[in-house]
Amino acid sequence: MSSPTVHIAQSVASMAVLYPVLGDNAIVFGASIILIDTDHIFEYVADTKNFHPKGFFIYHDILDKNRHKNLLIFHLFHTIECYLLLFLLAQTYSVFYSVLGGFLFHHLFDQISLIRMKKPFVRVFSIPEFLIRKKHCITSMREIFQHEDVNVQGIPNLEYWLGQWGIRLKPSK
């Protein structure tokens, strides 16, 4: 998945390029490239029951460092169901075409990034896919820390954040 900095650059560049063609809808398109990732916040809060912004970044650093495991990530706004809903809304409110375009543009670059990391299926494409695959995959921070080979190198204040998230480390043998 691409970094926030990359998505901001994509947003600004796309707004500049598309504004002469789309007018104000170019701003909606560009904002959507960034706002699609608000579902990462939902994932963090649902998994940790914590709202602290710093914890959000620590959480995602741990996920990134442990992506090689059998990790499965669910981001609601990156699913076919969300795209279909946006398409249906666009039938009545045309601005949603720009939202849908921004979401798909964002997802394309995320997917290219995941392919480069050799993890193209770490994030689900649909809700039913998540419900089926979650039985055989790691889907939460608690499950990550049930394994012995968790990569937490360079994670500051790990014990503090695990405590905030209600996660107890597995005792060493």
Number of helices and strands in the chain (H, E)? 9, 0
Contacts of 52 (CB under 8 A, 6+ apart): 164
pTM over 0.85: yes
**Backbone dihedral region for residue 166 (phi beyond 0: left; psi -120 to 50: alpha; all else: beta):** left
Q: Which of 82, 97, 70, 84 is nearest to 37 (CA)?
A: 82
Residues 66 and 104 in one domain: no
On whether residue 63 sits in a domain, the answer given is yes
Confidence bin at 168 (pLDDT 50/70/90): confident
Write the single-letter amino acid at 92: T
Residues 94 and 57 in one domain: no
pLDDT attached to residue 1? 66
What's the average model confidence in pLDDT over 5-15?
A: 93
Q: Which domain holds residue 162?
A: 38-74+140-173
Residues 88 and 120 in one domain: yes
Confidence bin at 135 (pLDDT 50/70/90): very high
Write the single-letter amino acid at 76: L
